[in-house]
Amino acid sequence: MFHNRTIRLLLLSFLCLQLSASAGVPGKKETWAFGNFGEGASGNISYVKDKMVVSTQNTIHCFFDSDSYSYAFKKQAFPYDDCSRSAVSVSIDSFASGSAGIMMRTSTGLGAANVHLEVTSTGDLMLFYRKSDGDITLYSRVGKLPFPVSIRLVRQGNIFTAFYKNERQVWEKGGFASAFLGTEALIGFYACAGAKSQIGYTEEMNGPMQVNFYNREVAYQQNYTAPEQNFTDKMPVKKGTLLRDNFNDGSLSNKPETKINPVWSGITFGNLPRSEGGGRFWRKNGDGSYYLGSKKWADYSLSVDLKFNVQKEGTNELTLQLRYQSIAVYDKMARYYALAFRGGNKVFFEKYESGTLVFSKPLAITNYIDSKQHALKVSFLDRNYEVFWDGKKLLEGSDTLNPITYGNIAFAFSGASVDIDNLEVLEVDDPVNGSKDNLLQNYYDTPIPAYLKKYGY
Amino acid sequence: MIKLRIIRYTLFLVLGTGIQFVSGAQDKKGAPSIFQVTTAETLPGDAVLVRGEFLDKITGIRIVRLGDEAITNGLPSYVARPREDGALDEGGTALRFLPSPSRDEVSVRPLMQNSQSLKFIVPRQWGEGVYCVRLEDAAGGSSYFYLNTPKVNWVISEEGLRATAGDYLRIQGKNLSRKGGAAMVALVPLKGGNTVFVPVSKSFDDYSVQVTVPAGTTPGVYHLYYHNGKGGATAWSEPLKIEVVNAAPKKWEKKEFSVLAFGAKGDGVNDETPAFRAALDAAEQNGGGTVIVPKGRYMLTGELIIPPYTQLKGEARELTQVFWNPLNWDLGELPNSLITGSHHFAIRNLSMWASRAWGLIMLNGPIKEQGNVTLENISVQQSAELGGMVYQVKANRDKVESEINSRWQRTGIILRGENIIVRNCTFNSSGMYTFFAVSGFIQNSRFTRQGTGINQPYMMVHPKGLIFEDCYKQSDGYGYAASIDESRNLYEARNVIPYNYTNDREAMTLDGGSGAYAGPVAGVNGTLLTLPKGAETWQWTPDKWNGGGVFIIEGRGAGQFRRIVRHGLDSIRLDRPFLVDPDGSSVISITTVRQNLFFVNNEISDAGAYQFYGSSENCVLYGIKMKRCNGIVSRGSLLYHGKQPNWYIDIVNCELREGNYSHWFGINDRGHSGAQNINLIGSGGGGLNLGVLIRRNKLGEFSYIRTSPGGNDRAVSDVIIEDNSFQTAKTAISLGGTGTQTFGVLIHNNHYTDVIKNVDAQTLSKESYLILDDGRTSSGQ
């Protein structure tokens, strides 16, 4: 449980520990390791005034199955997951061919998990990420920039957010990705001579290239409050509880996992401040997507207390994904219903299939970023749904066209500053066929025929 | 035009008058007993193998060719044939004929005679036909058997393992088709009535023919006798008890339910699952029916269960497609099968498309109910690939393959039970094709594997009366199931099996089988066999091995087997007593039975072995054409904890060409690469490879024949290698092992062209083989 006064106090006393200072300051000695990785890769590093000059050849790119690159790097401890924050910034002059940028990775080994924010010689800016060692590399396009470019890669927990300076020299967010780099990672600047077909499969290499890095900055912050010791949750458990998290243990990941002590997927350490009453809540800042529950949850209601804090920066967006179904291989094929808080105080109930918006229904909520606590409840029974805000029903309906009838839940944050408390998922009783009709996506209102039960359903 | 004759059945048997029955020595203690004789087509000048016990007491072999008089005016009459798994004339009738000495008999010389086997050669100067053989013993007893008479193993029609009045009947066995012979079937009702004579209307080969059972045939139980047109009135087959039925009405024909009437659109976009299910439900409520799927493209998001007596019928497979949205399931969350059913259902005239599926068409529900399934004119495509850039990344492919591989043996097509019909279908699947305990027809279909790189075979077939013919099978190898539940009665013919480059590359294998025990017996009393105290058994729990076989592989009584009716830990109840009981010299093996599996005129190229790999009895490889393959393997050995015998196999009229073969690496791949060959393997014990006939095969371009015994005495024994033609070989026939590890090999009348060495048997003792090639004799005998 939390209270506004507590939040203010916490904000005032917020410990922001600056552990790393700027780098690349004229006259200040830097210590970067340097290496060339990949078959036949070569290159070197030098400094010309405040510019780090990296030359490289026989280096193509850092994605798919063939990492090859020249890399100026250093180790960085990152002990507290979402409570740790690393930001690396740099400016880059134009260069003849290939690509260059900021890279964070688990090791210099080929195929190591990594995230790299890359600008190509044509000015295309892309965010590449390989979630774990040996995994595939995915990417999203951020934009196209004129040289020189200034870019920043921020890591918070397992979330990596791209920034770039726009024409007004103001940092602008350019998308984010997730990857698992552990509690100690390499950070630094890389260059690749590139292939003549930069994105694709032609491996014919460009000749040697050289790139200048300057305005180099490395910053690290952490904000972590230890969990409660010997905590016992004495809150009564309601009948039909599928999941509950009141956050009072001060942890998102302590075990053993039970339905009243869920282990959140995708995050280990969260910022769980104490409220005035002695309980805890989760204050989520920044980006990230986190998953809970069973893929086979069918008819259920979700209730949660949310407080969107007024802030100077960030869009403060949250998409609560419900009956969430994903296909692990096919990254952009998720299906789910969503309570989407976005676009400057607008809230929508939406449906997505294959990553595409199917429908969007606006809710009569005029201002959710008000630093006030609100109670949200969403309920599903077969094809039917209801949405409540502070106890008032704002929406009800039935999705009869290919409804999504089961799935877990997820919280997807973007530029957020949200306090979350009293999350509860309760089973909704379905007198006709229970959850079987959800899994069959059929027979919602009539009993399942006996022969189907005999022969398999 | 089918010519029928129906005559009055009578118990009065006119044949054999004046011919004295001589019981022979089969019932006398210590007197010769015959377990097996050659059952392949035997021409003049061909050798014959006789296996049994006390055969060293045979003092004379007399043989006569029977006349080919017309059989149109007589009742069927037969001479019982020795069998290795039962007594003489078991299931016989009063129509058995008991031969007696003939004035036209001639004596022939026994070859390689010992207590358990002898061989002889049919006089070369005679014409083809049926020969009556009489074995005389020192005590004055005689035993008779016929050569070249039909041996009918099983029948099948559209109504299953029975005959259908007014419809065709397929008959499988040996010696069914003879040049110039007017083959005939006689159906003799058990409970009296007219005997029905039916001429054979179609001959596929010597192992399968077809007749049409007259429409007016009274349903009931009959004895089927078969005559191949040779040998006259007494040369009918032994009787096979069959049932004649009328064609059952097809319940699904009584009402149609169009999916359009239940909301389907066929536009490829609408989720048609509820409409399909509603139509199937309506058919089920009706007690069955036809669910019609008109032309169009239908998207499904869930599995379908076809109720009994229902068929799912498209307009044509070119016009009607059902496909499953692959995005409906997360990784590892695929449905058990896209279409399931239990029994009496059909899928016709449509195409199915799916990716990311485990099962495509599978049976479900109680196993005892499963069967009677028809797949006809359907095409099935299953690709694990969704395509696009995502799939071009190896890690993604690995995930998809892992998803399929996670439950490999429950992927693809799994059909089980009686009367499975798969006809005119095309399958291209990432999963397996499994036909378990099936009888029925698999015809004119194409089976290919949508390769994902997974190193997994197979098509798995567990036959119990299956015709598998005129199909194309390109995949990772084909297995014939070995389970304690016996595999039997397969006719697999005219299939094409090209290109097999993954896994073990086996084009066909009888693999697995395991075993429960191998060793001595404590005692035998009739059908009760007792194991020694402390016998080392494997997977031996009470009644687990019911239906399995007890084989006498060495010592007294070797060459016989019996089936297990039930058993405890120490004792076994057999289905029938042995002709000659095992004693202290004997070694038995308890393992699986796989009998009467016939592979005929199949073509294989660029593949590994076509092999009997473990227990197999009375199986046939006929007319197999191989190119650039590992060759034919006929293996009896200790495998998977079981001593698995390979007994009485015929490898005849096969053609092995282009014998240079490269397997996995081309070199150093456990000897798989090299020259294509017919390889008789016996390892892990004596008596495991017994009584194989290799006759009239053509081996070209370095193809050759060899034996590969293990370290045991008589591991490969009583082999006839005869009338084979070799064109270009280093060594045409290589007999492996030392001493008598390969034993009792008759090399007879083979033909060599451009061969450096005809026979290599340098390490064998001279009593182990006899060479009678082109009149030349060379051996110790």
pLDDT, tens digit (0-9, with 9 covering 90-100), for B224-281: 999 999 999 999 999 999 999 999 888 888 799 999 999 999 999 999 999 999 999 9
Nearest C-alpha in A relative to B287 = A451
Question: If you compute the radius of gyration of chain A from its CA atoms, what whole number of angstroms results?
Answer: 24
Do residues A104 and A155 lie in contact, with contact meaning Cβ atoms separated by under 8 Å?
A: yes
Do residues B112 and B118 lie in contact, with contact meaning Cβ atoms separated by under 8 Å?
A: yes
Say yes or no for a CB contact (<8 Å) between A442 and B341: no
Beta partners for residue A330, in sequence order:
A327
- Would you tell me which residues 147-186 of chain A have a C-beta closer than 8 angstroms to some C-beta of chain B? none
pLDDT at B403: 82
| Residue from A201, A294, A327, A457 to probe the interface with B (highest B Cβ count within 10 Å) | A327
Strands A300-308 and A384-389: unpaired
Tell me if chain B has a CB within 8 Å of the CB of A454: yes
| Residue from B301, B303, B327, B336 to probe the interface with A (highest A Cβ count within 10 Å) | B327
DSSP 8-state secondary structure symbol assigned to residue B160: B
- Residue by residue, DSSP assigns B479-511 as EE---SS-EEEEEEES-EEE---STT--SEEE-
Say yes or no for a CB contact (<8 Å) between B271 and A402: yes
Cα(A272)–Cα(A253) distance, integer angstroms: 12
Do residues A379 and A395 lie in contact, with contact meaning Cβ atoms separated by under 8 Å?
A: no
Tell me if chain B has a CB within 8 Å of the CB of A136: yes
**pLDDT band, residue B28 (cuts 50/70/90):** low
- Residue by residue, DSSP assigns B744-756 as EEEEES-EEEEEE
Tell me if chain A has a CB within 8 Å of the CB of B338: no
For residue A58, give both structure tokens: 């026989």
Cα(A437)–Cα(B145) distance, integer angstroms: 67
Closest listed residue to residue B337, CA positions, set B407, B257, B385, B253: B407
Say yes or no for a CB contact (<8 Å) between B305 and A452: yes
pLDDT in tens, B463-510: 999 999 999 998 767 778 778 899 999 999 999 999 887 677 889 998
Evaluate if residue B24 carries a pLDDT over 60. Answer: no
- Chain B residues within an 8 Å CB radius of A132: none
Nearest C-alpha in B relative to A133 = B395
Strands B478-480 and B459-469: parallel
Say yes or no for a CB contact (<8 Å) between A449 and B284: yes
Q: Which residue has the tokens 């490889």?
A: B621
For residue A212, give both structure tokens: 């200048």
Residue B456 or B695, more confident = B695
Nearest CB neighbour to A455, from listed B302, B364, B394: B364
Do residues B146 and B81 lie in contact, with contact meaning Cβ atoms separated by under 8 Å?
A: yes
pLDDT in tens, B191-210: 988 899 999 999 999 999 99
Cα(B601)–Cα(B624) distance, integer angstroms: 5
Distance from the Cα of B265 to chain A's closest Cα (Å) equals 14
Determine the longest span between alpha carbons in chain B, in angstroms: 86
For residue B469, give both structure tokens: 């013919």
Question: Any idea which of A90-104, B282-296, B373-387 has the lowest mean pLDDT?
Answer: B373-387
- Chain B residues within an 8 Å CB radius of A455: 305, 307, 340-342, 364-365
Distance from the Cα of B344 to chain A's closest Cα (Å) equals 13
Do residues A452 and B302 lie in contact, with contact meaning Cβ atoms separated by under 8 Å?
A: no
Say yes or no for a CB contact (<8 Å) between B393 and A65: yes
Cα dihedral sign, B275-B277-B283-B289: positive
In this structure, chain B runs to a length of 781
Nearest C-alpha in A relative to B389 = A200
Closest listed residue to residue A330, CA positions, set B301, B383, B387: B387
Mean pLDDT rounded to a whole number for chain A: 88
Cα(A129)–Cα(A178) distance, integer angstroms: 7
Coil vs helix vs strand at B622: strand
Query: E strand or H helix at A126, and its extent?
Result: strand A124-130
Say yes or no for a CB contact (<8 Å) between A456 and B364: yes
Do residues A260 and A151 lie in contact, with contact meaning Cβ atoms separated by under 8 Å?
A: no
What phi and psi values does residue B693 have, to the nearest 5 degrees? Answer: -110, 125
Cα(B339)–Cα(B336) distance, integer angstroms: 9
Overall average pLDDT of the B326-335 stretch: 80
Task: Give the predicted TM-score (pTM) of the model.
Answer: 0.83
Contacts of B321 (CB under 8 A, 6+ apart): B296, B297, B298, B350, B351, B352, B353
Overall average pLDDT of the A345-361 stretch: 92
Tell me if chain A has a CB within 8 Å of the CB of B271: yes
A with B: how many residue pairs have Cβ under 8 Å apart?
A: 72
- Would you tell me which residues 185-214 of chain A have a C-beta closer than 8 angstroms to some C-beta of chain B? 201
Tell me if chain B has a CB within 8 Å of the CB of A452: yes
For residue B372, give both structure tokens: 């009677």
Tell me if chain B has a CB within 8 Å of the CB of A1: no
What phi and psi values does residue B355 have, to the nearest 5 degrees? Answer: -130, 165
- B443: Cα separation from own chain's centroid: 16
- Chain A residues within an 8 Å CB radius of B368: none
Please give the sequence-ordered ranges of beta strands (E in DSSP) within B252-294, or none if there are none: 256-258, 267-271, 289-293
DSSP 8-state secondary structure symbol assigned to residue B157: B
CB atoms within 10 A of CB A47: 14
pLDDT at B287: 93
Say yes or no for a CB contact (<8 Å) between A455 and B307: yes
Nearest CB neighbour to A441, from listed B273, B336, B340: B273
**pLDDT band, residue B452 (cuts 50/70/90):** low
Burial (0-12, 13-18, 19+ Cβ within 10 Å), A179: buried
Cα dihedral sign, B533-B537-B540-B545: negative
Nearest C-alpha in B relative to A131 = B395
- Residue by residue, DSSP assigns B625-690 as EEESS-EEEEEEEEETTEEE-EES-EEES-EEE--EE--SSSSSSTT-SEE-EEEEEEESSTTSEE
pLDDT in tens, B724-775: 999 999 999 999 999 999 999 999 999 999 999 999 998 899 999 999 986 5
- Chain B residues within an 8 Å CB radius of A335: 327
A203-231 burial, b at 16+ Cβ within 10 Å, e below that, comes to eebbebbbbbbbbbbbbbbbbbbeebeee
pLDDT at B434: 93
- B427: Cα separation from own chain's centroid: 23
Overall average pLDDT of the A126-135 stretch: 91
Nearest CB neighbour to B394, from listed A65, A331, A335: A65
Say yes or no for a CB contact (<8 Å) between B330 and A457: no
**pLDDT band, residue A18 (cuts 50/70/90):** very low
Overall average pLDDT of the B635-652 stretch: 95
Say yes or no for a CB contact (<8 Å) between B274 and A134: no
Cα(B428)–Cα(B446) distance, integer angstroms: 8
Say yes or no for a CB contact (<8 Å) between B331 and A440: no
Question: In Å, how far are A183, A456, B106 from A107, measured between CA atoms?
Answer: 12, 49, 89
Overall average pLDDT of the B605-625 stretch: 95
Evaluate if residue A329 carries a pLDDT over 70. Answer: no
Say yes or no for a CB contact (<8 Å) between A456 and B303: yes
- Chain A residues within an 8 Å CB radius of B307: 451, 455
pLDDT at B71: 84
| Residue from B265, B272, B276, B277 to probe the interface with A (highest A Cβ count within 10 Å) | B277
- Residue by residue, DSSP assigns A33-86 as EEEEESTT-EEEEEEETTEEEEEEES--BSSTT-B-EEEEEEEEE-TTGGGEEE
Nearest CB neighbour to A455, from listed B302, B305, B399: B305
Mean pLDDT rounded to a whole number for chain B: 90
Cα(B401)–Cα(B385) distance, integer angstroms: 9
Distance from the Cα of A412 to chain B's closest Cα (Å) equals 19
Closest listed residue to residue B657, CA positions, set B695, B622, B631, B696: B631
Coil vs helix vs strand at B252: helix
Say yes or no for a CB contact (<8 Å) between B327 and A457: no
Tell me if chain A has a CB within 8 Å of the CB of B8: no
Say yes or no for a CB contact (<8 Å) between B327 and A333: yes
Please give the sequence-ordered ranges of beta strands (E in DSSP) within B455-593, or none if there are none: 459-469, 472-474, 478-480, 487-493, 496-498, 508-510, 515-519, 523-525, 528-530, 549-554, 561-567, 571-574, 587-591
Contacts of B567 (CB under 8 A, 6+ apart): B542, B543, B545, B546, B573
Cα(B434)–Cα(B458) distance, integer angstroms: 8
Beta partners for residue A425, in sequence order:
A243, A302
pLDDT at B10: 30
What phi and psi values does residue B608 have, to the nearest 5 degrees? Answer: -85, -135
Say yes or no for a CB contact (<8 Å) between B277 and A442: yes
Closest listed residue to residue B588, CA positions, set B658, B542, B645, B651: B645
User: Per residue, what are the HEC states of A288-350?
Assistant: EEEEECCCCCCCEEEEEEEEECCCCCCCCEEEEEEEEEEECCEEEEEEEEEEEEECCCEEEEE
Tell me if chain A has a CB within 8 Å of the CB of B365: yes
Evaluate if residue A282 carries a pLDDT over 90. Answer: yes
What phi and psi values does residue B465 have, to the nearest 5 degrees? Answer: 110, 65
Can you say whether residue B390 is alpha, beta or left, with left for phi > 0 and alpha for psi between -120 and 50 degrees? alpha
Tell me if chain B has a CB within 8 Å of the CB of A135: yes
Overall average pLDDT of the A218-243 stretch: 93
Overall average pLDDT of the B87-103 stretch: 93
Evaluate if residue B688 carries a pLDDT over 80. Answer: yes
| Residue from A110, A333, A451 to probe the interface with B (highest B Cβ count within 10 Å) | A451
Tell me if chain B has a CB within 8 Å of the CB of A455: yes
B490-525 burial, b at 16+ Cβ within 10 Å, e below that, comes to bbbbbbebeebebebbbbbbbbbbbbbbbebbeebe
Nearest CB neighbour to B340, from listed A330, A353, A456: A456
pLDDT at A344: 76
CB atoms within 10 A of CB A39: 10
- Chain B residues within an 8 Å CB radius of A136: 393-396
pLDDT at B779: 44
Nearest CB neighbour to A329, from listed B274, B307, B331: B331
Residue A234 or B16, more confident = A234
Distance from the Cα of A454 to chain B's closest Cα (Å) equals 6
% of chain B beyond a pLDDT of 90? 77
Cα(B344)–Cα(B252) distance, integer angstroms: 9
What phi and psi values does residue A30 have, to the nearest 5 degrees? Answer: -110, 150
Tell me if chain A has a CB within 8 Å of the CB of B325: no
Distance from the Cα of B341 to chain A's closest Cα (Å) equals 7
